Amino acid sequence: KQEVTQIPAALSVPEGENLVLNCSFTDSAIYNLQWFRQDPGKGLTSLLLIQSSQREQTSGRLNASLDKSSGRSTLYIAASQPGDSATYLCAVRSGQAGTALIFGKGTTLSVSS
Amino acid sequence: DAGVTQSPTHLIKTRGQQVTLRCSPKSGHDTVSWYQQALGQGPQFIFQYYEEEERQRGNFPDRFSGHQFPNYSSELNVNALLLGDSALYLCASSDDLASYTDTQYFGPGTRLTVL
User: Mind listing the pLDDT tens digit for each residue in B86-101?
Assistant: 999 999 999 877 767 7
Using the Cβ of A34 and the Cβ atoms of chain B, whether some distance falls under 8 Å is answered with: yes
Which helix (H) or strand (E) covers residue A31, if one does? strand A30-38
Sheet strands (E) in B27-78? 31-37, 44-50, 53-57, 64-68, 74-78
- pLDDT single digits (tens) A25-34: 999 999 999 9
- pLDDT single digits (tens) A17-53: 999 999 999 999 999 999 999 999 899 999 999 999 9
Helix segments in chain A, DSSP class H:
none
Tell me if A28 sits within 8 A of A69, measured CB to CB.
yes
Residue A69 confidence class, pLDDT cut points 50, 70, 90 = very high
User: What's the confidence (pLDDT) of residue B1?
Assistant: 67
Residue A48 CB partners (closer than 8 Å, separation 6+): A34, A35, A57, A58, A59, A62, A64, A75
- Give dist(CA B64, CA B41) in Å, integer: 19
User: What's the confidence (pLDDT) of residue A41?
Assistant: 86
pLDDT at A96 over 80: no
Q: Which residues pair with A50 in a beta bridge?
A: A33
Residue A20 CB partners (closer than 8 Å, separation 6+): A74, A75, A76, A77
Interface test with B, best of A7, A30, A44, A108 (most B CBs within 10 A): A44
Q: What percent of chain B has pLDDT over 70?
A: 98
Give chain A positions within 8 Å (CB) of B107: 43
- Give dist(CA B80, CA B78) in Å, integer: 7
Give chain A positions within 8 Å (CB) of B45: 97, 100-102
